Amino acid sequence: MRGFSRNGSTNKYWTLFMLYMGFCIAYVDRTAINISLSAIGQEFQLTPATLGIVLSSFFVGYTIMQLPGGYLADKIGSKKVIMMALTFWSVFTLATGFTYSLAALLIVRFLFGLGEGSFPPASFKGISEYFPHDERAKMAGVLVSSNYVGSAIAPVLVVPLMLFLGWRGMFHVLGILGFAYVFFYWLKVEQIHVVHKPLEVSLKQDEKKKIDVKSVITLPLMWQLLIAWFALSLINKGLDSWMPTYLLTVRHLDLKAVGILTPLPFVAAGISTAVSGYVMDHFFDKKEKYLLSGCAVLTAVFLYFMYTSVSVFSVIAFQCLVYFFKSFVLGCVLALPLKLLPQAVSGSAVGMINLGGQAAGFISPALIGCIITVFHGSYDAVFIFLIIAACCSACASLTIGKRRTDRLL
């Protein structure tokens, strides 16, 4: 097989499909812990605060690997890094089902995150390897939608497995499925080899400098995107981690009902991210900050309506709207580096931004668990915290200045 080259492309959409499926599997594997959290808490006799630490342990390892994973993909190509990530996280998905103590559970979830952490930047590196520059933002949005398709599939797959095999057996099955995918990816996707020539970046009309990882890290735009996504990821990771438990304990749904309702917000998020790159390119070119800040404000508004809803139906309806608008931000912040920066540093750029998002991943679940414990099971303060986070994201987005050039190439 051959990927994108100067002469054309033959398998770029097949590669996109394989990357898409890899993200779906990743999100099924990580969402499984959220759905099984109540059962794990009962078996291990853990408090909400301790369960929050269990959830956060994954994101510690996951965050650590964002920049190294992106840098490694830039150096050796996306396929090798993706294969390592796929194998590593399948091992520890399987191992989760064999844990019989809190300490073992924390270690396994940390190692699981460490293994999976290099997958996102390597995948977006793959997009830049296989697709020409003018297609990357749209394809990045499509790829990001896999996060939510995987999260939507997860309850449909995980709940029946838990009901028939228990939470341990469920993790065993998911681990085996992961190994099957590793073999299929190795067989069907060929790494393309790109020779990178030194590229120059016009940051000002009278200033030229070579683009490398160091210069990417010092770009103000990268930090503005990182902060905007960090703030909104407090919502993203917080709701992903705690909504199943909230529906079970506060709204008093049973496990089957949670399995039916939980996918709906992820479907809305998948649609949002799939079109985010197209909307950004065609309607908000050089005005991306207004799209980001507007979506963050709407996220805060619908979080409030979700918090004050009196029926389960309205809770889920407003959660769908929250996920729709917050996911526009995700799609755009990950697509912008592919649109503005050279392919040679695309993995590192995405890794840097995703580092901010995943840092929120280990802060938010643990913090929410502590808030619930302090307020004796009440989620009121949790929703206030999430609304404030959305407002912070909107403010960070508005600091993005006008671009001096059409792209940083």
Render 385-401 in DSSP notation, one character per residue.
HHHHHHHHHHHHHHTPP
- The closest alpha carbon to 401, from 224, 250, 187, belongs to 224
State the burial class of residue 377 (Cβ atoms within 10 Å of its Cβ: 0-12, 13-18, 19+).
exposed
pLDDT recorded at residue 134: 77
Q: What is the rounded CA–CA span in Å between residue 390 and residue 27?
A: 23
Q: What is the rounded CA–CA span in Å between residue 400 and residue 405?
A: 14
What class has domain 12-189+210-398?
mainly alpha
pLDDT beyond 80 at 350? no
Of 303 and 253, which is predicted with more confidence?
A: 303
In this structure, are residues 343 and 196 in contact, taking their beta carbons and an 8 Å threshold? yes
pLDDT recorded at residue 406: 43
The residue assigned the tokens 């341990």 is 168
Amino acid at 71: Y
Output DSSP code: residue 36: T
Report the SS3 class of residue 405.
coil
pLDDT recorded at residue 249: 81
**Any idea what the Cα angle at residue 156 is, between residues 366 and 304, rounded to 5°?**
45
Amino acid at 397: S
What are the structure tokens assigned to 209, written together?
């400098």
In this structure, are residues 151 and 268 in contact, taking their beta carbons and an 8 Å threshold? no
Reported as a pLDDT band with limits 50, 70 and 90, residue 402 is low
Which residues touch 333 (CB under 8 Å, ≥6 apart)? Answer: 225, 228, 229, 292, 353
Output DSSP code: residue 345: G
The residue assigned the tokens 């600091």 is 399
In this structure, are residues 82 and 126 in contact, taking their beta carbons and an 8 Å threshold? yes
In this structure, are residues 350 and 332 in contact, taking their beta carbons and an 8 Å threshold? no
Reported as a pLDDT band with limits 50, 70 and 90, residue 210 is low
Which residues touch 164 (CB under 8 Å, ≥6 apart)? Answer: none
pLDDT recorded at residue 204: 42
Q: Which pairing describes strands 200-204 and 207-210: parallel, antiparallel, or unpaired?
A: antiparallel
Q: Which of 92-96, 130-134, 159-163, 304-308 has the lowest mean pLDDT?
A: 130-134
Q: Which of 46-60, 208-222, 344-358 has the highest mean pLDDT?
A: 46-60
Q: Which of 3-17, 88-102, 150-164 has the lowest mean pLDDT?
A: 3-17
Q: What proportion of the chain, given as a percentage, has pLDDT over 70?
A: 89
In this structure, are residues 381 and 212 in contact, taking their beta carbons and an 8 Å threshold? no
Q: What is the rounded CA–CA span in Å between residue 256 and residue 274?
A: 28
